[in-house]
Chains A and B, each alone.
Chain A
Amino acid sequence: MRKSKIIMLMFITLLAVSLAGCIDGSGKTEESEGSTGSTGGENVVNIGYSGPLSGAAAYYGENTLNGLKMAAEEINETGFEVDGETYKLNIIGLDDKYLPNETAANARRLVQENNTPIIFTPHSGGIYALQVFNEQENFLIGAYSSEPAITEGGNSLTVRIPPSYHGYVEPFTEYSMERFGKKLAAIPPVTQYGQDWAEELIPHWEEQGGEVVYESYVDFSKDTDFFTLLTNALEGDPDVLFIGGPSEPTANIAMQARELGFEGGFIIMDQAKLDEMKNITEIFEPLEGSIGTVPLIYSDYPGTDEFVEKYREKFGKDPGSEAGFHYVSMYIFVEAMKAAGNVEDAKVIHENIQAGLDALPDDKKVYEIPSIDENGAFEIPTRISTVEDGEIVSTDIK
């Protein structure tokens, strides 16, 4: 075979692999019912969503959208009243395959075709892409990412929903150093988010007198097996492993580290959840000494139990924090619209978010969110979980 043919073949292979991520590229999950306003005697507010609904992160995307849909269904049972008129919600979910450019294209479509005042997106890349034009086109971003930079850039129409990872670095470092020792091997995922986390954690670890014995990245979209990486990471005899990514592959890494004889603790990036990791490890023993965020099902906010129960009934599985946060934010935005007396102008809705937080009924408080800061980030007291003697222990951080 000639060389040109080989090159052609490789090109097509690459194309095929990249195309494979594009299944159902522009597939809408739900048809819109006209733009905001009156359709068939009923007032409808369209709420946009753009997230990964196909490809490697589809599971994550589905969970976030589930939270929104569940809230909307409940709200639509009676509708909500703004300025004397009753409105219902219509969630329009579009697939962006985790690609920021697709998020931007989806958002333009949502705004132009459906006149959505709020668009949710669950990844930092997509949020950055929307921040380029959201002020100009006047829509609010329901930003689900713990990346603190998304609200520090001064965008006036962004609401950052989950707590920033900034708050985790200190308690994670302190706990792991005290319990296990000063040697850290860092193998976060190769994503932008993983790299940002590492850049925050590693300097802090060293400042506290720790030593980083190994540093590399794991690529969940390319590696079939983690033994090679882990063998190298454990060569320096670390006390603590820094890992992260989607819960299930992260759990897999933890298991393989144990198989290779690792006895220290794990610092787990906030993307992975301890309860979901347990689905893979079956028991908490392999995760002994892990420190991470508090799984929703182990939280005890006023509305958590009811939400968890309803979610289990509807979807047949435990909800993660992404579903919980989307659910509660949908309620908060509705309360904000009520307080604003407006369902169209993102600016006015944004100004009334604090009023919305204050008006949120107790039984909907899947998370307790007392306030929103001046940059548009929800201020949530940091809580962390550790695995001690095979059980999850949650602590508040002051």
Chain B
Amino acid sequence: MEILIQQLFNGLTIGSIYSLVALGLTLVYGILHIPNFAHGAIYMIGGYITLTMMTYVGVNYWISIAVSIIVVGVLSVLMERLVFHPLRNTIIINNKIAAIGILLFLEALAQLIWGADFRQMSSPYNQVLNLFGVTFTVQRLLIIVAAIVVMVLLYLFLKKTFIGRTIIAMSQNREGAFLVGINANKVAMLTFFVAGALAAIAASLTSPINLVFPGMGHLVILKAFVIIIIGGMGSIPGAILGGYLLGFTESIGATYISGDYKDIIAFILLIIILTIKPNGIFAKGEH
């Protein structure tokens, strides 16, 4: 029983990270229909900015995260302005190739600036708690709570504010949104900013339990794509549900079936869901 609870907790931790990364990906897809392969690299840059602020500038963890959100958000907007915007009227494959190009560029850049070595981010929340035989660390609880807070804030932003609602409007119907006078440029920039910010938050929260290195984006990006396909491309509830679903599948699958097959289990889940619902759990339009 203890092991089940421990593994549910582990699944929740990892699922929170997956969801945050997948949310950024799905938002961009919803608006621009671009599968942003560079999102993993954006995530990695987020980790490095937070680390740099903490170790070289010496400010506290939370301020570092705030700086990281802004820097990575702006980087993400620049990416939209300089790369995706000029390509908006070409065929879609150009966007895909451009995204791969940005991914390669950012990884090489990170290796040039910060070096190829593994860095550790020590958070002030290393304490270990032991309740009823289940081990929590404060950082892990923080990941879970922060992910929920961010999701609630994102929900409120998208549903209750005017500019947030323009994002939803754009993703539901592009032409309709233009007709009512929504500025497509602004919405695209805003979406990229939010996606970048989400990636920065996810990376900053995870780094203390893992390490910061140029390839860290690979750990999450493939899974984030699986998640948004499971959840329905462009769907926000789909990304959240898909993230937790994958997190739990991995931890429970590794425990009760086999640790060596946990990725296979996750991909079998993907195939089953796509067989039943070819467009994902929340197909587009059902926001």
Contacts and interface: CB of A to CB of B under 8 A. Distances in A.
Interface of A: 1, 3, 6, 9-10, 12-17, 19-24, 54-56, 58-59, 61-62, 216-217, 221-225, 227-229, 231-232, 235, 246, 248-249, 252, 256, 259-261, 279-280, 282
Nearest to A15: B100
B229 interface: yes
B107 A228 contact: no
Given A58-B116, A59-B118, A20 B3 contact: no
A30 to B, nearest CB: 17
Contacts, number: 139
A118 B274 CA distance: 53
B215 A56 contact: yes
A225 B35 contact: no
Given A23-B107, A221-B218, A16 B99 contact: yes
The interface size bin for chain B is 35 or more
Contact of A228 (B14, B111, B130, B211): B14
A231 B279 CA distance: 35
Given A1-B233, A3-B274, A228-B7, A280 B222 contact: no
Contact of A227 (B13, B115, B217): B13
Contacts of B258: 216
Contacts of A225: 10, 13-14, 17, 206, 209-210
Contacts of B263: 222
Contact of B11 (A12, A217, A221, A228): A228
A245 to B, nearest CB: 11
B210 A224 contact: yes
Contact of A19 (B104, B116, B250): B104
A228 B99 contact: no
Given A20-B218, A221-B215, 11 more contacts: A1-B284, A3-B274, A6-B278, A12-B100, A15-B100, A16-B37, A56-B218, A224-B17, A228-B14, A231-B10, A232-B7
B219 interface: yes
A224 to B, nearest CB: 5
Contacts of B220: 224
B218 A231 contact: no
